[in-house]
Amino acid sequence: MPSLLLGPLLRHVDETSATVWVETDEPCEVSVLDCSTPTFTVAGHHYALVVCAGLSPGTTTPYAVHLDGTQAWPLPDDPYPPPTVRTRTGEGAEPLRLLFGSCRVTRPHDAPYTSTRSKEGVGIDALHAYGQRMLSREEPAWPDALLLVGDQVYADEVSPRTLEHIERTRGTEAPPGEGVADFEEYTLLYREAWSDPLIRWVLSTLPTAMVFDDHDIHDDWNTSAQWRRSMQATDWWAARIEGGLMAYWLYQHLGNLAPDALAQDETWAALKQVDDGEDLLREYARTADAEADGGKGVRWSYRRDYGDVRLLVLDSRGGRVLETGDRSMVDAREWDWIVEQTKDCASHLLLASSLPVLLPPAVHGLEAWNEAVCDGAWGPRWARWGEKVRQAADLEHWAAFRGSFEALLDLVADVGSGKTGPAPATITFLGGDVHFSYLAQARFASSRQVTSAVHQAVCSPVRNPVYRPVQLMDRFARTQGGRAVGRALMRAARVPLPPVDWSVDRGPTFANAIGALEIEGRTSLFRLERTVAGDGQPLETVLEERLA
C-alpha cells in the first residue's frame, strides 16, 4: 500500500483552483478534492502535483489526500486541524496578509538546538513559532499566503539526519565533505526540512511560493565567472549542481506555477510521459546551469496575482550572466519578461528577490566599488585582488551588478510614475539572505514624478542567526558614517552614485523572525516579529510601519 513520504504542500491557490504537491514511496494515483493524477518518477522517487479545479470563490474547504483510493493524510491520530484550501474571492480590493522570510536551517525543535548560546544552537524557528500561533487563533486570523525567499535548505550546512546518512554511506573525508553530493542526498535534505509535524501542517494549509538562494545549491553560488570556473574544475561539482537544480525543480519550482503555466510547461508534460524522468530532468538542469556561461538557460522567475496585488518573484541566482564587462542578474530575454509583468499592476506591486535590492548604504558602496575594481578600474593586479575580496566577503548582491540595479530602479520609477499604467500605491521589494531584517524607503528625484511609495522590506533569518562581530559591522553599515565610507569607495573607483537615495529607516534586527505584509485597498503595513523563548507568546513585534 502506498504512503506519503512528504507533503501535502499547498502551493498555488486562486479563485477556483489549487495545486497540492506530494512525494510518495511508490507509484500510485493521488486524489485531492475529487481531482486525481498519477505520480511521475524521477531517479526512483515518486511525485505528484494535483491540480484541483472547479472550486468555489471565497470558500474554505478541508481536504484529504488519497493514494490509490485510501486516505493517506491526515492520519487518524493527527493532532492538528484538517488542512484546508481557502480560495480567493476574485474581488480586486480583497485584503491580503502575506507572510515571508528566508534563511531557515533544519534542526530539531528542542535543546540544545533552540538555544543561541550553545555551539549547536540556532535559536527558535520563526516559522514553527508562527505555526504555534495559528493553532491558537481562529482561521480568519491566519495569513493568506507564505513566501519563502531563499535558503529553504542548506546544502553546505546539512541537517542532522542527512549528515548521519552521509557519514554512514560515503563518509565526509572527500569533497564535498559534509555537504550534499547529489540528487539522492538532496531528497533526504528536503524531507528532513519539511517533515516536522507542525511545519508539515503549516505547509499543507498556507499556499506557499518559493525561490532559491545560494545555500539551496552552495554558498556564494554564481558569485562570478571565476567562481564558476573554480567549481567546474572540481570532480564533484557537476553532480551537486545537477542534483540541486533537479531537486529545486521538483520540490520548489513546480509548485510555483499556476495551472495555466503548468499546462504550457514542456518539461512537466514530458516527465509525465516517461517511466523515469531522471535523464530528462538532468538535462534540464544542465541547460539551466549553462545560462551563467552564456547558454540558453531557463526562466525561474514567476508571477502570482492576489486580486489587485501582484507578486513578481525574481530569480537573482540561477539566471545570472557573469562574464566581466557584461554582468547582469538575468539575461535579456528574462528581463523583457519581467518588464512585461510590471504593466497594469493595480494597487500594489511586490518585487521579491532573495537578495535585497536596497542594501545598507555602506554595503552598497562596497559592492559597487568592488565590481568596478574587478572590472579593471584600478588595473589588472587590483582586479585579481578584488576577485578574491568579492568571493571572501560575498560581494554579489544587486549592488555588484550595477547595470541590472540601475535598470530595475529605472523600471520601478516608470511604474511608480504611471508610465506603464496607473501607478500602484506601493512598490515593495521583498528580500532575505543577509541575516538581518530591516525596512528602507527609496526616494527618487522629483523629476521622475514617482507617486508610489517604494520600500525595501527584508526578513532574514527565519532560523540561522549570525555571530555578534558580524552584527556590529552590519549596524555600522546603516549609519551616516557607513554611508560616507560607501560613497568614498564609489568615488575612488569612479562609480556614479545610485539614481535613487535611501537609508535603513527601521532596523536592523538580528533575531530569528518572520515578516508580514498586510494589504487592504491602497494601504499596506509591514510587520516584523521575532521569536521569544519561554512558555508565553512565541513571537513579539519588533517593527511595524505603514508603507501607504
Three-state SS sequence of 208-272 = EEECCCHHHCCCCCCCCHHHHHHHHCCCCHHHHHHHHHHHHHHHHHHHHCCHHHHHHCHHHHHHC
| Predicted pLDDT at 346 | 79
By the 8 A CB rule, do 131 and 125 touch?
no
Name the nearest CA neighbour of 376 among 385, 388, 389. 385
According to DSSP, residue 134 is labeled: H
Residues making up the chain, counted from first to last:
548
The domain 1-90 is classified under which CATH number: 2.40.170, 2.40.30, 2.60.40, 3.10.350?
2.60.40
The DSSP result for 324-391, as a single string, is: TTS-BSS-HHHHHHHHHHTSS-TTEEEEEESS-SS--HHHHHHHHHHHHHHTTTT-HHHHHHHHHHHH
> Where on the phi/psi map is residue 140: left (φ > 0), alpha (ψ -120 to 50), or beta?
alpha
Name the nearest CA neighbour of 434 among 352, 510, 489, 366. 510
| Predicted pLDDT at 324 | 65
| Predicted pLDDT at 206 | 98
| From-to residues of CATH 2.60.40 in the chain | 1-90
- Phi and psi of 150, rounded to 5°? 110, 155
pTM assigned to the model = 0.97
Class of domain 91-546: alpha beta
Residue with cell 593586479: 381
pLDDT tens track, the chain, 548 positions: 999 999 999 999 999 999 999 999 999 999 999 999 999 999 999 999 999 999 999 999 999 999 999 999 999 889 999 999 999 998 877 899 999 999 999 999 998 999 888 888 999 999 999 999 999 999 889 999 999 999 999 999 999 999 999 999 999 999 999 999 999 999 999 999 999 999 999 999 999 999 999 999 999 999 999 999 999 999 999 999 999 999 999 999 999 999 999 999 999 999 999 999 999 999 999 999 998 777 777 999 999 999 999 999 999 999 999 976 678 999 999 999 999 999 987 799 999 999 999 999 999 999 999 999 999 999 999 999 999 999 999 999 999 999 999 999 999 999 999 998 999 999 999 999 999 999 999 999 999 999 999 999 999 999 999 877 778 888 887 888 988 999 999 999 999 999 999 999 999 999 999 999 999 999 999 999 999 987 778 999 999 999 99
| Predicted pLDDT at 312 | 98
| From-to residues of CATH 3.60.21.70 in the chain | 91-546
| Predicted pLDDT at 34 | 95
Pairing of strands 208-210, 145-148: parallel
Amino acid at 132: Q
How far apart are alpha carbons 420 and 435 in whole angstroms?
34
How far apart are alpha carbons 486 and 465 in whole angstroms?
25
| Predicted pLDDT at 411 | 97
